[in-house]
Amino acid sequence: MIEFFIFMYATLGMFVIAAMQRNHRLARPTPQMVTMVGWGLFSLSSTLAMLLGAVAVAMALGLQPQLPASFHAPLF
């Protein structure tokens, strides 16, 4: 399931960047919906960066996260 969300995030990000570049090159205004999707992706990226950074700092300071007993993360 996470692969689907990563794929959708990347697809939306590339669409927003391509649409904004094309509109800039043609000297046209960018539609508000494209701008709002771009801001949403920016917010998602910033939030995840802050959360993962906080987890990394906590782990560097010696915090051991409590995971459920049934948690399984293959490392292949």
CB atoms within 10 A of CB 16: 21
CA dist., res. 45 & res. 56, Å (int):
16
pTM (two decimals): 0.73
pLDDT for the residue 45: 96
CA distance readout (Å), 62 to 18, 56, 58, 69: 43, 10, 7, 21
Closest CA to 17 of 46, 32, 31, 38: 38
CA dist., res. 59 & res. 43, Å (int):
24
pLDDT for the residue 75: 65
- pLDDT averaged over 10-residue windows placed end to end, the chain, 76 residues: 92 96 96 96 96 93 84 73
